[in-house]
Structure 1
Amino acid sequence: MPLTSVQKDLSRLTMTIVADFSVPLPRLWDAYADPRQLEKFWGPPEWPATFLRHDLYPGGRSEYYMTGPEGERSHGYWEFTSVEPGHSFEVVDGFATQDGQPQEEMPSMRMVFRFETTETGSRLTTTTFFNSVAELEQLIAMGMEEGAKAAMGQIDDVLADLKTFAAERALETHLLSDNQARFSRIIRGTPEQIWAAEHDPELLKRWMLGPDGWQFTDCQVASSAGDTYRYAWVDATGENGFALTGEVLESDPPHREVTTESMEGVDGPPSLNEQTLTPVQGGTLLTLVSTYANKDLRDAVLATGMAEGMETSYARLEREIAAPA
């Protein structure tokens, strides 16, 4: 267990947890930058976490819930107030409602995570700042300290797993809920390169093609909130065409973009796509959370082979980024 010390300072209204690890600093940082890894240890064993959103950049936000032994859920959020990549980040941490909004009747805290290199590996110092002695005592009584210790006891197994989250892995699909799926892949390139490749029509036409042989017949790109897009393709024979349309709801280059998506000619509400680009070892972690109207629609979309087509396109994107200018 990596836990080195836990100190509570009532005069400063803080609780400081120090943990030491035998892995290099970048490996430890990535465990907190990658929601696939973070959710494996953020909650204690009896209350595992699921991250619905994790935007590790200033102004970004995380939303998660922990599931209890009887299936009950406790929701939380982070608001990132500062990030020094590879070294530190600071968040406002609080309890949330089911739809991700802060629970005003519950206390929130400021948390500072500091990462540093040591002679034997790396160290994480997490300092939580409380608003009052009463809130500190309330949260300690709710099991915050024991929960943090239990959660920290799981991180060694995550850090030792060098295969599950490696850069060479193909696209991973994770079902978050009955109507949500998360698609994750590390792409060799920077967030800026990937963002550009997604918003430049000439670049987009060279990689976002799905299976080999398909080609664009229309490529109208949306770049800012309020813009609409339309992408249309046909197969190698010029048949079986289809089109996707939607609108940009949020845009924060090169970190996060939220869009709607509908298949042209198909009735029903659009899906919601939330994409985040996060620098990690080996490139950029692309995380896409798609929310569908219901489970049947989610399963129908996944059954089309969409994930396989996405993987083929992302592999092509990597080659496009790596090609000489």
Structure 2
Amino acid sequence: MTVISSTKTPEALTLTIAAEFAADVERVWQIWEDPRQLERWWGPPTWPATFERYEFQPGGKADYFMTGPDGSKARGWWKFTAVAAPSSLELDDGFADANGAPVTDMGSAHMAVAIENAGGSTRMSVTTTFESAEQMDKMLAMGMEEGMGLAMGQIDAILAEQQVA
């Protein structure tokens, strides 16, 4: 099932990507709650993620890097602003330098995730709100929309695996 829509709304400075999965809401929540599962899909297939810190609670932080095919590393950070299991989470998101410090010239974005029952499947919507039209244009030009679609395309295989309680 995976990605069902991708909507850019320039006047609201948002990009929303929605996907549907053949799993219940609680199971889809686990792909955010468990950093080892998150690592398996956050980032396109050729840029897998490694989370070095993962404090999944309001005010908590996450530090991660994605490793490219040539071995280069792209670092990022998150600050969780809301976590309401199993239906929603929000976080501020930005780039980091080689030491994990925020890169301020790229700004940050706000991401809101909604997970809801969709009558036999679960719909997950990820809405990113940008600081400016310039930032939105730059992120889209860097391939954010395509990358998120490819990343979310990896979730079905993770959800299909048997989970050990």
TM-score by length of 1: 0.50
| Distance in 2 of aligned mates of 1:68 and 1:85 | 32
Please identify the structure whose Cα radius of gyration is greater. 1
Q: C-alpha displacement at 1:161, in angstroms?
A: 1.1
Q: C-alpha displacement at 1:2, in angstroms?
A: 0.6
| Distance in 1 of aligned mates of 2:146 and 2:119 | 28
Match of 2:91 in 1: 91
Question: Are the equivalent residues in 2 in contact too, given 1:21–1:120 (CA < 8 A)?
Answer: no
- Structure 2: stretches of 5+ with no match in the other structure: none
RMSD: 0.9
State yes or no: 1:5 paired with 2:17. Answer: no
- Structure 1: stretches of 5+ with no match in the other structure: 168-325
Q: C-alpha displacement at 1:41, in angstroms?
A: 0.5
State yes or no: 1:46 paired with 2:57. Answer: no
Q: C-alpha displacement at 1:143, in angstroms?
A: 0.7
| Distance in 2 of aligned mates of 1:149 and 1:17 | 7
Question: Are the equivalent residues in 1 in contact too, given 2:64–2:76 (CA < 8 A)?
Answer: yes
Deviations 1:193-239 (A, max 9, x none): xxxxxxxxxxxxxxxxxxxxxxxxxxxxxxxxxxxxxxxxxxxxxxx
Question: Are the equivalent residues in 1 in contact too, given 2:106–2:135 (CA < 8 A)?
Answer: no
TM-score by length of 2: 0.97
Question: Are the equivalent residues in 1 in contact too, given 2:92–2:108 (CA < 8 A)?
Answer: yes
- What pairs with 1:149-164 in structure 2 (closer than 5 Å)? 149-163=149-163
Match of 1:32 in 2: 32
Match of 2:21 in 1: 21
Identity of aligned residues (%): 45
How many matched pairs?
165
* Other structure's SS at 1:105 match: helix
Deviations 1:79-107 (A, max 9, x none): 00111121111100000122221111112
- What pairs with 1:305-316 in structure 2 (closer than 5 Å)? none
Matching residue's letter, 2:149: K
Match of 1:67 in 2: 67
Q: Which runs of 4+ in 1 moved over 2 A?
A: none
Match of 1:82 in 2: 82
| Distance in 1 of aligned mates of 2:87 and 2:74 | 29
Question: Are the equivalent residues in 1 in contact too, given 2:13–2:136 (CA < 8 A)?
Answer: yes
Structure with bigger RCO (C-alpha 8 Å, 6+ apart): 2
| Distance in 1 of aligned mates of 2:119 and 2:67 | 37
Match of 1:129 in 2: 129
Q: C-alpha displacement at 1:117, in angstroms?
A: 1.1
